[in-house]
Amino acid sequence: MTRAPRSKTAPEPPPEPPIVIWALSDGRAGIEAQAVGLADAIARRRNATVVVKRIAWKGQLGRLPWWLNLLPRRFMDPSSEIAPPWPDLMIAAGRATLPVAIQMRRWSEGRTFVVQIQDPRTPLHFYDLVAPPNHDRVKGDNVVSITGSPHRLTPARLKADYRTFASQIDPLPHPRVAVLVGGRSRAFDLSQERAAAIANSLQLPLEQDGGSLLMTFSRRTPQAARNLLDARLHHLPGIIWNGEGPNPYFAFLAAADYILVTEDSANMATEAASTGKPVFILKMDGQSLKFRLFHEELESRGAARPFGGAFHGWTYEPLQETDRLAGEILTRMAARTAAAAPTPAPEAPPAL
């Protein structure tokens, strides 16, 4: 009896070496969340160590235009810890990071892949990749635009945070309505009059539907508006987070049947649209062309609608822009590595 020859299995390719990612910002929560969220998304796809760094400038130097701060390491506060060894990938977000991002490729002799989130309003060739929102309307060969902004939300994060608050949320009646309230920015504000209008628009449908309220405020929410919303709505079943103790933000998103977001925050709207749940946009004081374009984009993707005083459901494909951007960055990093690899010498012909 003859035995069939054993098939030879191809050897598995060696695992990719780990990389170091710097997530760089000025430390503001909304800005840092974008850099860290994107870095974490890459780390879910590739063995990586994520290091969070916060830029701090001496005196008022952080307010200078980037072209007047060409020696940034001299003027940074030591707490910034911008020093070699340089990372494999740096993700920078916010105006304060521009002088560092612009110089990083020179410092690292081209070894660091530099990604700048948002529109840097500088020449694009300073960076390996620029990742602005679509509504910034930035174009270029090294530009990958996304809907909204990178963020930290994942299904695993939603489940984990929900478990933390399950004992408080589980008894609440449906429909559960999460209301994410922003505040003062360059384009928008939240006056007491506007806060009263929001409270009135929420109270009636919640009382009619017998639902519950899950409300949270941002650091930018004016105290007067916060106090008014709390006073008008505290009688409803639910939770109005006062800023003390663990933050239930992600737990609210996980628990909600509907999500309402004030129009001033691209971060909150993008995270809400990543759940696949109906998202309603709440009007504030002020206006912005960029945010109008952003909300129209969310509407075109089926994710969001203006809030008209009633809750209703629909379905759409949840946004996964952070993961898409993470994949694009890894693809471009791999392409650059392959292009830099030396070409193997051709084999010599056999001797006759």
Residue 46: give its domain's CATH number: 3.40.50
Q: Which of 82, 97, 89, 75 is nearest to 25 (CA)?
A: 97
Classify residue 132 as exposed, middle or buried by CB count within 10 Å of its CB (0-12, 13-18, 19+): buried
Contacts of 346 (CB under 8 A, 6+ apart): none
| Paired sense of beta strands 188-189 and 285-286, if any | antiparallel
Site of tokens 């004992």: 167
132 and 94 part of one domain: yes
297 and 242 part of one domain: yes
What pLDDT, on a 0 to 100 scale, did the predictor assign at position 244? 86
274 and 177 part of one domain: yes
Domain presence at residue 231:
yes
Task: Give CA–CA dist 326/42, Å, rounded.
Answer: 5
Last residue of a domain, one of 104, 136, 151: 151
Q: Where would I find the beta strands (DSSP E) of the chain? A: 19-25, 48-54, 89-93, 113-117, 129-131, 176-181, 188-189, 212-217, 238-240, 258-262, 279-282, 285-286, 304-306
162 and 146 part of one domain: no
Q: Which of 149, 163, 147 is nearest to 254 (CA)?
A: 163
Give the structural domain span for 96. Answer: 19-151
pLDDT in tens, the chain (352 residues): 555 555 556 566 667 789 999 999 999 988 999 999 999 999 999 999 999 999 988 876 666 676 667 778 888 888 899 999 999 999 999 999 999 999 999 999 999 999 999 999 999 999 999 999 999 999 999 999 999 999 999 999 999 999 999 999 999 999 999 999 999 999 999 999 999 999 999 999 999 999 999 999 999 999 999 999 999 999 999 999 988 889 999 999 999 999 999 999 999 999 999 999 999 999 999 999 999 999 999 999 999 999 999 999 999 999 999 999 999 999 999 999 888 877 665 565 555 4
What pLDDT, on a 0 to 100 scale, did the predictor assign at position 24? 97
Task: Give CA–CA dist 306/309, Å, rounded.
Answer: 9
224 and 115 part of one domain: no
What pLDDT, on a 0 to 100 scale, did the predictor assign at position 338? 87
Domain presence at residue 352:
no
Last residue of a domain, one of 306, 322, 337: 306
Contact assessment for residue 100 and residue 24, using Cβ atoms and an 8 Å cutoff = yes
Contacts of 62 (CB under 8 A, 6+ apart): 26, 55, 56, 96
What pLDDT, on a 0 to 100 scale, did the predictor assign at position 58? 84
H helices present in 64-154, as ranges = 72-75, 98-107
Task: Give CA–CA dist 150/326, Å, rounded.
Answer: 9
87 and 178 part of one domain: no
Number of separate domains in the chain: 2
175 and 227 part of one domain: yes
Last residue of a domain, one of 86, 120, 151: 151
Contacts of 264 (CB under 8 A, 6+ apart): 182, 183, 185, 187, 188, 190, 220, 284, 286, 291
Domain presence at residue 334:
no
Contact assessment for residue 87 and residue 23, using Cβ atoms and an 8 Å cutoff = no
Q: Which of 226, 200, 205 is nearest to 215 (CA)?
A: 226
Give the pTM. Answer: 0.88
Report pLDDT digits (tens) over 64-106: 676 667 778 888 888 899 999 999 999 999 999 999 999 999 9
257 and 232 part of one domain: yes
Task: Give CA–CA dist 219/6, Å, rounded.
Answer: 66
Euclidean distance between the first and the last CA atom of the chain, given in angstroms as a whole number? 42
43 and 129 part of one domain: yes
Contact assessment for residue 117 and residue 150, using Cβ atoms and an 8 Å cutoff = yes
Residues paired with 25 in a beta bridge = 54
182 and 102 part of one domain: no
Query: Alpha carbon of 13 to those of 8, 17, 183, 220, 327: distances in Å?
Result: 15, 12, 51, 50, 20
Domain presence at residue 3:
no
45 and 142 part of one domain: yes
3-state secondary structure of 160: helix
Task: Give CA–CA dist 113/71, Å, rounded.
Answer: 20
147 and 198 part of one domain: no
